[in-house]
Chains A and B, each alone.
Chain A
């Protein structure tokens, strides 16, 4: 088990190193002279003298390897440099925004888990009957509706028509509900199919036959025998969906006027603020790697078969 964990940690470190390389090369390979762009973003006329001064300032005239080492060293210590556009510290901006995005993703992960388990169980309890067909239809609808349209519908239903919940802002749990629900729709739809199919497969396995012959009822079998069996699959799929939530956060945060990482990334992309794009990208990639690591460890804890394999 310790062997597995150490191997997995090493794997994650290699991935992190590759992620940092990708982020660095992407910005270095940007077309055009970055120094001229920065000079213009600051509102100055890009005279050759000023451009040289800018190059000196951000260290653009150093060799590539040196720049990479400098940048990586700073990034590891949590210093992502200064935004080209606003001149503010990127790390200071990000610290607050990570809390906002964290709230968004954590809340919708919980909601998606609850909805998908409910829908999946509904389908597994009455397979191929009306509840199953309804849950299947909802899953198709949820997986196909564009997130921004879901958000617009939520605002129209809950803020405009019934005036129950605020349509924008980040103050208090009441304003969190709509963004949470908006993001949760897609993962809930996908995960409900995972639960439904997983339960169906578990219900035909030999251990369920044993449970039946012991005289256990359907409910008891579903919850006590089948549910633990699908936990590892579910955790795996949930991890993928939580990773994908960073992408939907980019759509949902501007829609509800939340100052999160996704919103910051989008602003960086819009104004070609390379330092912001680079920092956000590194944070996203790190997030995927950490989530995957947690998923693998959680699967190890919940699946005795894999644990035995590695001990």
Chain B
């Protein structure tokens, strides 16, 4: 419980609505197979395009599939793909970023130049180019998005690694004769991973959006598997007769993205040190003065 307290205290400062939305997204995504009341891919053309009823809470789509179940399963699809994309992107980014931060010199220059180029080109264009070369498919999509996403975590982990490397305990380790491997794996890598993970959660919203966009374009998650972007494009031809099938997946996706964006903003704001007030300055001065007194006593 003691370990949870600082985490809970930090969560308390975050916007409540965003936390609830993200919590709901995670819960739905994790337990989707048990929560969905009906099989998401069972077609029943006799019940196609129905409105909400006791049997189908949010109606059915043009093939008679239960929309409510499909929306829930789509949260699972989204969560799994976002997890694999961010996992792959962070692995590449942290590895290259820490190597650049450890080595400095020309390795650093080269990698950061690549990161600059990667960050200046829209991620959709990078991932589409990769899909165009390798050919469409689920794992191609994950690879393509990871290749478009790693520069961000690469830049952050490089900055964190540089600041860790300039700390006195690394110098002390060097003096003790620790091998580069021990410094890298024992001290640099674990220290970097933690900070980069925090930023990655803020990125999850854009990653979910990218997965949905690729699925909307027909190059991400393929039809029988429900996914919000792909459900939306599926229902688009019936926009006139059945707008609900377009609105519902769009709203679900928008809610998730808003949640992650608000959370990301508050994480970014919490990182900026606030200027000290005069009262706090006075307290700090008194504290520093008492240190010198302790030292003179000793």
**Chain A contacts to B: CB under 8 angstroms:** 18, 22, 26-27, 29-31, 140-141, 143-149, 152-153, 155-156, 160, 243-244, 246-247, 250-251, 254, 265-266, 268-270, 272, 274, 277, 281, 284-285, 288, 292
Q: Report whether A269 and B134 are in contact in the complex, using a CB–CB cutoff of 8 Å.
A: no
B182 to chain A, nearest CB (A): 36
Q: Which of B58-66, B160-168, B195-203, B256-264 contacts A (4 or more CB under 8 A)?
A: B256-264
A-B contact pairs, 20 of them (CB 8 A): A29-B133, A31-B133, A144-B258, A145-B257, A146-B213, A146-B216, A146-B253, A148-B213, A148-B232, A149-B250, A149-B254, A152-B246, A156-B243, A243-B120, A243-B122, A250-B128, A254-B217, A269-B128, A272-B132, A277-B132
Partner among B117, B218, B229, B247 whose Cβ is within 8 Å of the Cβ of A146: B229
B240 located at the interface, meaning its Cβ lies under 8 Å from any Cβ of chain A in the complex? yes
What chain B residues lie within 8 Å of A155 (beta carbons)? Answer: 239
Q: Give Cα distance in the complex from A287 to B257, angstroms.
A: 29
Q: Report whether A152 and B134 are in contact in the complex, using a CB–CB cutoff of 8 Å.
A: no
Q: Give Cα distance in the complex from A145 to B135, angstroms.
A: 28
Q: Give Cα distance in the complex from A250 to B129, angstroms.
A: 12
What residue of chain B has the Cβ atom nearest to residue A268's Cβ? B132
Q: Give Cα distance in the complex from A124 to B253, angstroms.
A: 31
Q: Give Cα distance in the complex from A244 to B262, angstroms.
A: 21
What residue of chain B has the Cβ atom nearest to residue A150's Cβ? B250
Q: Report whether B240 and A141 are in contact in the complex, using a CB–CB cutoff of 8 Å.
A: no
Knowing A18-B117, A148-B232, A251-B213, the reply to whether A269 touches B219 (Cβ < 8 A) is yes
Q: Give Cα distance in the complex from A237 to B296, angstroms.
A: 56
> Could you give, for residues 210-230 of chain B, a 1 whenever the CB lies within 8 Å of some chain A CB and a 0 otherwise?
001100111100000000010
A152 to chain B, nearest CB (A): 5
Q: Which of A152, A155, A254 has the most CB of B within 10 A?
A: A152
What chain B residues lie within 8 Å of A251 (beta carbons)? Answer: 124, 213, 216-217
Q: Report whether A288 and B133 are in contact in the complex, using a CB–CB cutoff of 8 Å.
A: no
Knowing A148-B216, A288-B120, the reply to whether A269 touches B132 (Cβ < 8 A) is yes
Partner among B133, B135, B219, B261 whose Cβ is within 8 Å of the Cβ of A144: B261
> Could you give, for residues 118-130 of chain B, a 1 whenever the CB lies within 8 Å of some chain A CB and a 0 otherwise?
0011111100110
A123 to chain B, nearest CB (A): 16
Q: Give Cα distance in the complex from A269 to B129, angstroms.
A: 7
Q: Give Cα distance in the complex from A244 to B240, angstroms.
A: 31
What chain B residues lie within 8 Å of A277 (beta carbons)? Answer: 129, 132-133
B146 located at the interface, meaning its Cβ lies under 8 Å from any Cβ of chain A in the complex? no
Q: Give Cα distance in the complex from A151 to B135, angstroms.
A: 27
Q: Give Cα distance in the complex from A155 to B232, angstroms.
A: 13
Chief secondary structure at chain B's binding surface: helix
Q: Give Cα distance in the complex from A146 to B260, angstroms.
A: 13
By Cβ-Cβ distance, the 10 closest A-B pairs, closest first, are A247-B122, A269-B132, A149-B250, A247-B124, A277-B132, A144-B258, A144-B257, A30-B133, A148-B216, A145-B254
Chief secondary structure at chain A's binding surface: helix
What chain B residues lie within 8 Å of A29 (beta carbons)? Answer: 133
What chain B residues lie within 8 Å of A143 (beta carbons)? Answer: 261
Knowing A29-B133, A146-B254, A288-B120, the reply to whether A247 touches B240 (Cβ < 8 A) is no
What residue of chain B has the Cβ atom nearest to residue A273's Cβ? B132
Q: Report whether A244 and B253 are in contact in the complex, using a CB–CB cutoff of 8 Å.
A: no
Partner among B128, B209, B232 whose Cβ is within 8 Å of the Cβ of A266: B128
What chain A residues lie within 8 Å of B212 (beta carbons)? Answer: 146
What chain B residues lie within 8 Å of A269 (beta carbons)? Answer: 128-129, 131-132, 219
What residue of chain A has the Cβ atom nearest to residue B217's Cβ? A266
Q: Report whether B216 and A31 are in contact in the complex, using a CB–CB cutoff of 8 Å.
A: no
What chain B residues lie within 8 Å of A146 (beta carbons)? Answer: 209, 212-213, 216, 229, 250, 253-254, 257
Q: Give Cα distance in the complex from A244 to B254, angstroms.
A: 20
Knowing A148-B216, A272-B135, A284-B125, the reply to whether A156 touches B120 (Cβ < 8 A) is no
What chain A residues lie within 8 Å of B218 (beta carbons)? Answer: 270
A8 to chain B, nearest CB (A): 16
What chain A residues lie within 8 Å of B253 (beta carbons)? Answer: 146, 149
B205 located at the interface, meaning its Cβ lies under 8 Å from any Cβ of chain A in the complex? yes
Q: Report whether B219 and A270 are in contact in the complex, using a CB–CB cutoff of 8 Å.
A: yes
Q: Report whether B125 and A152 are in contact in the complex, using a CB–CB cutoff of 8 Å.
A: no
Question: Which of B83-126 touch A at CB < 8 Å?
Answer: 117, 120-125
What chain A residues lie within 8 Å of B258 (beta carbons)? Answer: 140-141, 144
B229 to chain A, nearest CB (A): 7
What residue of chain B has the Cβ atom nearest to residue A32's Cβ? B135
B19 located at the interface, meaning its Cβ lies under 8 Å from any Cβ of chain A in the complex? no
Q: Report whether A160 and B125 are in contact in the complex, using a CB–CB cutoff of 8 Å.
A: no
